[in-house]
Amino acid sequence: MSDLIDDPDPGENAPEFSVSDLSGAIKRMIEGEFGHVRVRGELGRISRPRSGHVYLDIKDDRAVLSGIIWKGVATRLAVQPEEGMEVVVTGRLTTFPGQSRYQIVIEDLKPAGMGALMAMLEKRKVALAAEGLFAAERKQPIPYLPEVIGVVTSPSGAVIRDILHRLRDRFPRKVLIWPVAVQGERCAGEVANGIRGFNALTSGGALPRPDLIIVARGGGSVEDLWGFNEEIVVRAAAESAIPLISAVGHETDTTLIDFASDKRAPTPSAAAELAVPVRLDLLAWLDGQGARLSHAQSQAIALRGQRLRDLARAMPRAETLLDGPRQRLDAWAERLPAALTRSVQMRKVGLSETAGALRPALLRRAVTSDKRRLANTAARLNTHALVRDIHQKRRDLDRVTARFSDAANRQVQGWRERIATLDRLRETLGYRATLQRGYAVVRGDGAVLTTRAAAAAAKALEIEFADGKLDLAARPDTPAPSPRRAKPPAPPRAKPKTPPEGQGSLF
One-letter amino acid for residue 291 of the chain: A
pLDDT at 497: 47
pLDDT of residue 494: 45
How much is the mean pLDDT over the chain?
Answer: 81
Q: Is the pLDDT of residue 192 over 80?
A: yes
Q: What is the reported pLDDT for 383?
A: 57
What confidence tens digit (pLDDT) does each residue in 266-276 have? Answer: 999 999 999 99
Beta partners for residue 68, in sequence order? 55, 105
- What is the mean pLDDT of the segment spanning 135-156? 92
Let me know how many helices (H) and strands (E) the chain has, helices first.
15, 14
Check if CATH label 2.40.50.140 holds for domain 16-112.
yes
Which stretch of DSSP H or E encloses residue 303?
helix 279-314
Coil vs helix vs strand at 66? strand
Per-residue exposure over 26-63, b if at least 16 CB sit within 10 Å of its own CB, e if not: ebeeeeeeeeeeebebbbeebeeeeeeebebbbeeeee
Query: Which residue stretches of 404-494 are H helix?
Result: 405-429, 431-436, 452-457
What does the domain layout of the chain look like in residue ranges?
16-112, 122-277, 281-315, 423-445+452-469
For residue 353, pLDDT over 80 is answered with no
Most confident of 21-25, 65-69, 211-215, 247-251: 211-215
Continuous H helices in 131-266: 158-170, 187-200, 231-239, 256-260
Q: Reply yes or no on whether the pLDDT at 1 is more than 60.
A: no
> Mean pLDDT throughout 153-169?
90
| 382: amino acid identity, one letter | N
The answer to whether 459 touches 474, Cβ cutoff 8 Å, is yes
pLDDT tens-digit map of 87-144: 888 998 888 877 778 888 998 888 776 666 777 788 888 889 899 999 999 999 999 9
Q: How confident is the model at residue 6 (pLDDT cuts 50, 70, 90)?
A: low
323 has pLDDT over 60: yes
* pLDDT value of position 401: 60
Which of 22-31, 370-379, 410-419, 479-488 has the weakest average pLDDT?
A: 479-488
- The residue type of 152 is V
CA distance 347 to 341: 10
Q: How far is C-alpha 30 from the geometric centre of its chain's CA atoms?
A: 79
pLDDT over 80 at 148, yes or no: yes
Residue 178 forms beta bridges with which residues?
152
- What is the pTM assigned to this prediction? 0.45
Alpha-carbon span 129 to 137, nearest angstrom: 13
- Residue 198, pLDDT > 90, answer yes
Identify the pLDDT of residue 424: 80
pLDDT at 217: 92
Q: Check for a shared fold between 16-112 and 122-277.
A: no
112-234-270 Cα angle (round to 5): 100
Tell me the per-residue pLDDT of 445-456, one tens digit each, with 9 for 90 and over: 778 878 888 888
Split at pLDDT 50, 70, 90, the class of 387 is low
**9 falls in which pLDDT band (50, 70, 90)?**
low
How far CA 372 is from CA of 233, 303, 304, 376, in Å, comes to: 128, 91, 88, 6
Candidates 335, 79, 87; CA nearest to 184 is 79
Q: How many CB atoms lie within 10 A of CB 364?
A: 10
For residue 195, the model assigns a pLDDT of 94
**Band of residue 484 on the pLDDT scale cut at 50, 70, 90:** very low
Fold of 122-277: Rossmann fold (3.40.50)
Residues of the chain with pLDDT > 90, as a percent, come to 24
- Order across the sheet with 263-264: list the strands: 174-179, 148-153, 212-217, 244-248, 263-264
pLDDT score of 498 more than 50: no
pLDDT band at 381 (very low <50, low <70, confident <90, very high): low
Q: What is the 3-state secondary structure (H, E, C) of 367-401?
A: HHHHHHHHHHHHHHHHHHHHHHHHHHHHHHHHHHH
Say which range, 40-44, 58-62, 405-409, has the weakest mean pLDDT.
Answer: 405-409
Half-sphere exposure of 57 (CA within 13 A, CB side): 9
Provide the pLDDT for residue 69.
Answer: 92
